[in-house]
Amino acid sequence: MSIAPAEQQTSEPDVVEAVDTPWITLVWNDPVNLMSYVTWVFQTHFGYPKQHAEKLMMDVHLKGRAVVATGPKEQMEVDTEALQGYGLWATFQKDT
Amino acid sequence: MARAFAADGEELVAIMDEDERAVVAGLCLQVMDLVAPASAPTKGESADPFEAIVAGLGDLSTDTEDGAAGLEVPNRAFGLDHDRDPALDRLFPTGNREDEQEAAEFRRFTEQGLRQRKHQGLATTVRTLEAARDDRWVVTRPQAPAVLVALTDIRLVMGERLGLRTDEDATRLEELIETLEADDPAVFALSVYDFLTWLQESLTQALMGEDE
């Protein structure tokens, strides 16, 4: 797995204004989940437009992980649980 | 010969014969056992070598722990205070990789619910398989997410059994499989895995409205 540093968090300005929202949800790359399915999950769970969902999926695939949501801790826990329910490996953490 | 999922009006339909449906339904039941909260499969319970693989009782010749890529596999069990079946660590991985207390708490509050939902989705999938007539496996649009997740869960468990944990493992596995005897259980397991991948891809595309 190619775990490149996820230095591109600022490239997701349309998720949430990240000024005072110090928690993030990450999705980690794995060799089992299908690219089409991961895109479908991002569209279905977050309601992201297809283009944005595909970009996040490619970030996960190529960089090893991607920040898929930003917001309050409680919301990140809800997102993480839902994404794990879909079989993706999602985690939440403080946005450092 | 099976035909992948395609949209047919409001339904998504695959053509699969009885044997093929039985394989998928059997795998659903195996993974249901795995995710059921109270279940703890014990060694030697299953006489069927293929079922034994999925149940975590059999060993596969592809599952090497010492590959170079193995070092890169992150700890999915972070925050868990005991060892358990690695497939469960993949189905219910840690929710926080930095803070062990957060990880343990997240697991405590979410894992039982996740197990229940996965169990229900797999059961829904079995019902759709059992309802097949004339080899038509019919999945309605409302059922499709549950079936997609069920196929994912089965593939995650099989992938774990096959030692598929990184993208490099996938390449390694393809090369390794060429060198195995045709009757090696791993060869059959991988062919079933590929079949499920093909089904899931077609169902995803059919649901998203992109028949190729």
pLDDT exceeds 50 at position A24: yes
Q: How far is A87 from chain B (nearest CA, A)?
A: 6
Q: Which residues of B touch A44 (CB under 8 A)?
A: 145
Chain A residue at shortest CA distance from B209? A40
pLDDT of residue B212: 42
Which class for B23: exposed (0-12), middle (13-18), buried (19 or more C-beta within 10 A)?
A: middle
pLDDT exceeds 60 at position B26: yes
Q: Is B153 in Cβ contact with A1 (below 8 Å)?
A: no
Mean predicted confidence (pLDDT) in B131-151: 98
Q: Residue A20 — very low, low, confident or very high, per pLDDT cuts 50/70/90?
A: low
- A 19-78 → B contacts, CB under 8 A: 28-34, 36-37, 40, 44, 77
Report the C-alpha gap between B31 and A52 in whole angstroms: 33
CA distances (Å), origin A52, targets A6, A21, A43, B146: 17, 21, 8, 24
Mean predicted confidence (pLDDT) in B114-119: 96
Cβ-nearest to B95 among A33, A40, A92: A92
Cβ-nearest to B164 among A32, A85, A94: A32
Q: Residue B176 — very low, low, confident or very high, per pLDDT cuts 50/70/90?
A: confident
Q: Residue B34 — very low, low, confident or very high, per pLDDT cuts 50/70/90?
A: very high
Length of chain A: 96
Q: Which residues of A touch B168 (CB under 8 A)?
A: 1
Mean predicted confidence (pLDDT) in B167-181: 87
Chain B residue at shortest CA distance from A76? B95
Task: Note whether A66 and A60 are within 8 A (CB).
Answer: yes
Average predicted confidence (pLDDT) for chain A: 86
Q: How far is B1 from chain A (nearest CA, A)?
A: 23
Q: What is the pTM of this model?
A: 0.85
Report the C-alpha gap between B161 and B53 in whole angstroms: 7
Report the C-alpha gap between B108 and B103 in whole angstroms: 9
Q: Residue B167 — very low, low, confident or very high, per pLDDT cuts 50/70/90?
A: confident
Q: What is the DSSP string of B59-100?
A: --TT--S-SGGGGG---TTTT-SS---HHHHHHS--S-SS-H
Give the best residue of A25, A30, A38 to mutate against chain B (max B CB count within 10 A): A30
Token digits of residue B136: 């038509």
Chain B residue at shortest CA distance from A86? B149
Q: How far is A9 from chain B (nearest CA, A)?
A: 18
Q: Residue B170 — very low, low, confident or very high, per pLDDT cuts 50/70/90?
A: confident
pLDDT of residue A4: 46
Mean predicted confidence (pLDDT) in B30-39: 84
**Structural domain spans, chain B:** 3-72+116-207
pLDDT of residue B51: 64
pLDDT of residue B70: 44
pLDDT exceeds 50 at position B193: yes
pLDDT digit string, tens, across residues B39-73: 444 444 555 656 666 766 556 666 655 444 444 56
Average predicted confidence (pLDDT) for chain B: 86
State whether residue B107 sits within 8 Å of chain A by CB.
Answer: no
Q: Residue B3 — very low, low, confident or very high, per pLDDT cuts 50/70/90?
A: very high
Q: How far is A16 from chain B (nearest CA, A)?
A: 21
Report the C-alpha gap between B155 and A66 in whole angstroms: 22
pLDDT of residue B39: 46
More confident call, B185 vs A82: A82
pLDDT digit string, tens, across residues A34-73: 999 999 999 999 999 999 999 999 999 999 999 999 999 9
Task: Note whether A69 and A26 are within 8 A (CB).
Answer: no
Which residue in the block uniquely carries the two structure tokens 């899931």?
Answer: B200
Q: Which of B63-67, B150-154, B165-169 has the lowest mean pLDDT?
A: B63-67
